[in-house]
């Protein structure tokens, strides 16, 4: 599914974009081979498709079909066998003609697999004329190709070698079949194709689908057969210094971003559009995509929950927005209430939450803090998935929660524990008790008054405050308020939260505790960054852990600095 392309089409960004696709081995076996019927059609009427196949009958069928459909793009299928030279070659026809190749089938090897001999086994051979893609492009007046697809059964590298001049001056993306074992005698393998394309300036983005075949009807579910071939997808990377200057032009960067969208490399598309905005958007509105990107981020609930202002991309784009960032970050209450959320247990017990809890708690255990046999105040307990961590260490736990539905489940799970209602945005002034440890994991960023919450926790903490929360990148002292979904059992009760910087949290903790630390390690989870100088994060959330103490802690795993580099636990 495309991300931005339909909106780019609607807003006329694609009017000046011409897109040329070349399919080598263009026999249309399924809808996946009919590029004009896919998202590429969004480029029509500026879409041109060339197909090449050694089977003249298949080309004729494709041309008749295109004419009958009266499509609004240009498409032409030509009966040429493409290789790395002009001349004669032997075509080895297989039991299934679609597996025929310029290389002879490796029958002894194929015979070791189920079903392969019936498809790719030898049948007969014929002599054919071959030509090169460079020669055909010159003959047909094809100046450039933007997306090149190749599937010619083992001879794919030959096609690339015969398109050397074309690859030097055009082609943004290539989808090519590669083999990992010799299905055809002396054929080039993936390593050969990869080496050639890297020298031409392409970067591997994907191998899919991995085609496996079995030697027996009985096989392992962990390693089901042997990977024999796949489609490799390569793209240009104009942001690297060694990329040719042509591909660095803003018009070409935009075309590459569009191709990345069609191929569903959304993160790469976003990176390219951000680069265009920051480097060209101020002087040329055609390349300012800030509003477009942020408005689409606001349509993703997970990103809104994370707080749009805390996203590194949004932070870098906010100077290019034509309206205040709050217009994107604070959706109306009516739009928020349209969403429906799972009940508490289903919400908290997704694979994401269960894994996240495991990583956080194992990291906490690794810090070697004095936790066993302490009194613990757990705030924002949710449905109590962290509570047993302290009970297993013979702690006396008081659990609190701000949502009545979650509170009911807490009471059912831990009927012998003191369970209390507590909203840290507006804590009950009658709340009594002093605790050795206050445990606040995953709550602070759901508060719109986090300073009030920190002050309350400090008032009731005798020794340690253990705090984990979502944060924003940056060295400034910022609170970064944001909207959340008040109806979600995992989100802010008030519908407003925050994504403060680490410095903001540290300075607020220092107002109440003489000793504030951050771990040198981070939980083994992608939401906990290791390099705070590089905010290029693909995770929706960015998290950090803090330890505040009444007494100094002689612990080699903690630092009183705000580390820019951390290690993975």
pLDDT tens digits for 18-74?
A: 999 999 998 765 666 788 888 999 999 999 999 999 989 989 999 999 999 999 999
Segment 503-547, tens digit of pLDDT? 999 999 999 999 999 999 999 998 999 999 877 555 668 999 999
Give the residue from 94, 93, 268, 77 showing the smallest Cα distance to 172.
268
Query: pLDDT at residue 332 above 70?
Result: no
Residues written for the chain: 569
Residue with tokens 């407003």: 496
Query: What average pLDDT score do residues 395-414 get?
Result: 95
Task: List phi, psi (to 5°) of 465.
Answer: -110, 120
Q: In the predicted model, what is the mean pLDDT of residues 312-330?
A: 79
Phi-psi category of 136—alpha, beta or left, where left has phi over 0 and alpha has psi -120 to 50?
alpha
pLDDT band for 492, please (50, 70, 90 cuts). Answer: confident
Q: What is the pLDDT of residue 52?
A: 95
3-state helix, strand, coil in the chain (%, to 5): 35, 25, 40
Check residue 1 and give its pLDDT: 76
Looking at per-residue pLDDT, the higher value among 377 and 341 belongs to 377
Residue 336 confidence (pLDDT): 43
| Confidence band of 335 (pLDDT split at 50, 70, 90) | very low
Residue 272's pLDDT is: 97
Bridge partners, 76 (sequence order): 50
End-to-end Cα distance, the chain: 36
Does 298 or 446 have the greater pLDDT score?
Answer: 446
Look up the pTM and report it: 0.66
Q: Cβ(25)–Cβ(152) under 8 Å?
A: yes
Query: Model confidence at 215, in pLDDT bands (50, 70, 90)?
Result: very high
Q: Flag whether pLDDT at 252 surpasses 70.
A: yes
Name the average pLDDT for the chain: 91
């Amino acid at each position: 599914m495309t991300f931005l392309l339909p909106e780019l089409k609607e807003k006329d960004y694609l009017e000046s974009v011409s897109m040329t696709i070349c399919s080598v081995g263009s026999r249309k076996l399924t809808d996946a081979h009919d590029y004009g019927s896919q998202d590429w059609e969004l480029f029509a009427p500026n879409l041109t498709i060339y197909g090449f196949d050694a089977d003249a009958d298949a080309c004729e069928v494709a041309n008749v079909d295109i004419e009958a459909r009266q499509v609004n793009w240009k498409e032409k299928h030509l009966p040429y066998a493409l290789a790395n030279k002009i001349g004669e070659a032997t075509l080895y026809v297989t039991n299934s003609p679609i597996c025929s190749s310029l290389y002879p089938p490796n029958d002894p090897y194929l015979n070791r697999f189920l079903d392969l001999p019936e498809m790719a086994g030898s049948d007969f051979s014929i002599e054919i004329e071959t030509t090169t893609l460079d020669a055909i492009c010159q003959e047909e007046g094809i100046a450039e190709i933007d997306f090149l697809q190749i599937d010619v059964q083992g001879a794919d590298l030959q096609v690339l070698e015969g398109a050397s001049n074309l690859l030097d001056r055009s082609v943004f993306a290539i989808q090519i079949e590669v083999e990992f074992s010799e299905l055809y005698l002396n054929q080039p393998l993936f390593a050969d194709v990869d080496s050639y394309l890297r020298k031409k300036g392409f970067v591997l983005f994907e191998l899919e689908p991995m085609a496996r075949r079995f030697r027996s009807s009985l096989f392992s579910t962990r390693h089901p057969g042997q990977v024999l071939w796949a489609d490799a997808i390569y793209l240009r990377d104009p942001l690297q210094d060694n990329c040719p200057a042509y591909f660095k032009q803003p018009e070409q960067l935009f075309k590459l971003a569009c191709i990345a969208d069609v191929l569903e490399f959304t993160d790469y598309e976003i990176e390219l559009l951000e680069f265009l905005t920051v480097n060209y958007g101020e002087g040329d509105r055609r390349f300012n995509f800030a509003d477009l990107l942020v408005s689409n981020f606001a349509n993703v609930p997970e990103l809104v929950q994370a707080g749009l202002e805390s996203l590194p991309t949004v932070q870098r784009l906010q100077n290019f927005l034509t309206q205040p960032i709050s217009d994107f970050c604070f959706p109306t209450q009516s739009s928020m209430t349209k969403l429906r959320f799972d009940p508490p247990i289903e919400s908290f017990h997704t694979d994401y939450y269960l894994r996240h809890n495991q990583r956080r708690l194992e990291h906490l255990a690794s810090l070697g803090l004095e936790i066993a046999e302490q009194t613990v105040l757990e705030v924002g307990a949710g449905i109590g998935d962290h509570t047993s961590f302290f009970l297993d260490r013979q702690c006396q736990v008081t659990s609190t929660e701000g949502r009545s539905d979650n509170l009911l489940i807490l009471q059912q799970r831990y009927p012998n524990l003191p369970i209390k209602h507590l909203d840290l945005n507006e804590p009950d002034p009658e709340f009594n008790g002093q605790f050795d440890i206050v445990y606040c994991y995953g709550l602070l960023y759901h508060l719109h008054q986090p300073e009030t919450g920190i002050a309350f926790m400090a008032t009731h903490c005798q020794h340690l405050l253990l705090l984990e929360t979502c944060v924003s990148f940056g060295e400034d002292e910022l609170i970064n308020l944001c909207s959340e979904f008040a109806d979600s059992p995992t989100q802010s009760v008030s519908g407003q939260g925050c994504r403060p910087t680490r410095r903001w949290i540290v300075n607020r903790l220092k107002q109440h505790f003489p000793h504030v630390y951050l771990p040198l390690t981070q939980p083994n989870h992608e939401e906990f960054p290791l390099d705070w100088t590089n905010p290029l994060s693909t995770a929706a959330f960015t998290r950090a852990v803090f330890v505040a103490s009444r007494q100094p802690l002689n612990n080699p795993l903690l630092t009183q600095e705000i580390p820019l580099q951390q290690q993975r636990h």
